[in-house]
Structures are given as C-alpha cells and as structure tokens.
C-alpha cells in the first residue's frame, strides 16, 4: 500500500512540474510525436497577425501590430493547412 501511495505522489509531483514548466511540456509533445503518439498530443498552431502598415502594404507577422492599427488574427494548424497533392501522384503507404 505504501508503494502505491508513493507512486501516486511521484506521478502528481511529475505532473505538477510539467504543468508549471511549459518547456518540459513542449519537449514531451515533441518526443511523443517523434515516436508516433501524435494522436495523443494536440497539433501545433501558428498564430499570425495580418495588417496594413502606414504605406498600405500588407504585413503578416507573429507579433501584434502597433496600437491603433486594425488587424486580422490568422491561425494555421500543422495538420490542416497543407497543399493539395498534385493530380496523378500516388500516396505510398
């Protein structure tokens, strides 16, 4: 019984450390996707901002534009926004 309680406490401490340290969480997600557990981990999302600068040129950056400038928030998931397969190419499985 003591061994079981010790195991539970160790798992809780490990979970707390991973929760409080985002860099550990990112490492675990990267490792799990490398070994084929990508179904378990959420897909990465890139968040970008689209806005026009003072010259009227479109800017797409990962940082918010200066205050007072209207912008559009763009989100791209790594598993959704992909180029379509060219016609005639077969998928190798």
Q: HSE-up of 84 (CA within 13 Å, CB side)?
A: 3
What digits encode the pLDDT tens for the residues 11-56? 998 888 877 887 887 777 777 766 666 555 566 788 899 999 989 9
φ, ψ of residue 37 to 5 degrees: the values are -100, 30
pTM, two decimals, is 0.42
R_g (Cα) of the chain, nearest Å: 21
Beta pairing partners, 89: none
51 CB contacts (<8 Å, ≥6 apart)? 58, 59, 65, 69, 70, 71, 72
Beta pairing partners, 77: 45
- What are the extents of the domains in the chain? 1-42, 43-81
């Amino acid at each position: 019984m003591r061994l079981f309680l010790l195991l539970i406490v160790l798992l809780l401490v490990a979970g707390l450390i991973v929760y409080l340290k985002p860099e550990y969480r990112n490492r675990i997600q990267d490792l799990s996707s490398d070994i084929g557990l990508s179904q378990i981990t959420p897909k990465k999302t890139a968040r970008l901002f689209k806005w026009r600068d003072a010259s009227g040129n479109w800017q797409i950056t990962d940082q918010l534009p200066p205050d007072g400038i209207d912008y559009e928030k763009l989100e791209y998931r790594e598993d959704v926004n992909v180029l379509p397969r060219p016609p005639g190419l077969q998928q190798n499985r």
